[in-house]
Amino acid sequence: SSELTQDPAVSVALGQTVRITCQGASLTTYYATWYQQKPGQAPVLVFYGRDNRPSGVPDRFSGSRSGDTASLTITGAQAEDEADYYCNSRDTSGHHGVIFGGGTKLTVL
Amino acid sequence: QVQLQESGPGLVKSSGTLSLTCAVSGVSISSGDWWTWVRQSPGKGLEWIGEIFHGESPTYDPSLKSRVSISIDKPKNQFSLILNSVTAADTAIYYCAHLRRGSHCSRATCTYYYYMDVWGTGSTVTVSS
């Protein structure tokens, strides 16, 4: 089945811009979806499709895609953005179910 | 406003059966979207278990397919997860989620995306020996 690869950890200085990436063959077929998960909480949808941000998610969160790599960009990272971020997509080479990236732990310095 | 709530035993004996239910409110479970289960082992990432669309056969992760079953109870507006022959590796927080599909179309070509817009709070299941 397909895989999605994320960097395990990324850090950013407060107020700076950070890009979290997700790479996989399925992303040439499907847009990625991004979730934020804080300790002890359920994941929360933060970006999906080409340009969709759920109500209540700050506009400093944006998404993009280039080839087989999707990115979640946080422009002007805040302390409350420190969390784990997961991408997901559909599998394109086997079961055609959902696949998740391994997650990226974002630290805001 | 869609809301989901998992329920079920928090402790299951090794080699036994894990059974969880997800109560759906705010929308009919036959609304035309998918219903899915995701789990997260302690300190690990998200793992998709499977999904079901009302009126269709469920789809499962290949690594769990031989042990898992997901079903819908339309009168109760809920869906369920059964996982057989559990081991310590099945100890996790189990989430149910509402899965939707969208598309962006340009010049007669559409690109799809799938997103879980509503999640339950999670149900912690520990497998004991």
Instruction: Report residues of chain A scoring pLDDT below 50.
Output: none
pLDDT at A35: 98
Task: Please tell me which residue of chain A has the smallest CA distance to B99.
Answer: A98
Angle at CA of residue B82, ends B128 and B116, nearest 5°: 105
Determine, for residues B114 and A101 on separate chains, whether the beta-carbon distance falls below 8 Å: no
pLDDT at A48: 98
Q: Percent of chain B beyond pLDDT 90?
A: 93
Whether the Cβ atoms of residue B109 and residue A28 lie closer than 8 Å to each other:
no
pLDDT at B18: 98
Interval B24-44: pLDDT, tens: 999 999 988 999 999 999 999
Residue with tokens 């009302």, as numbered in its chain: B54
Determine, for residues B95 and A43 on separate chains, whether the beta-carbon distance falls below 8 Å: yes
Picking from B27, B13, B32, the residue whose alpha carbon sits closest to that of residue B91 is B13
pLDDT at A93: 84
Determine, for residues B113 and A31 on separate chains, whether the beta-carbon distance falls below 8 Å: yes
pLDDT at A56: 96
Task: Please tell me which residue of chain A has the smallest CA distance to B64.
Answer: A95
State how far the Cα of A21 lies from the Cα of A10, in Å rounded to an integer: 10
Determine, for residues B114 and A97 on separate chains, whether the beta-carbon distance falls below 8 Å: no
CA distance B73 to chain A (A): 22
Interval B15-25: pLDDT, tens: 999 999 999 99
CB-nearest to B47 from A48, A84, A100 is A100
Interval B77-104: pLDDT, tens: 999 999 999 999 999 999 999 999 999 9
State how far the Cα of B72 lies from the Cα of B55, in Å rounded to an integer: 9
Q: Which residues pair with B73 in a beta bridge?
A: B78
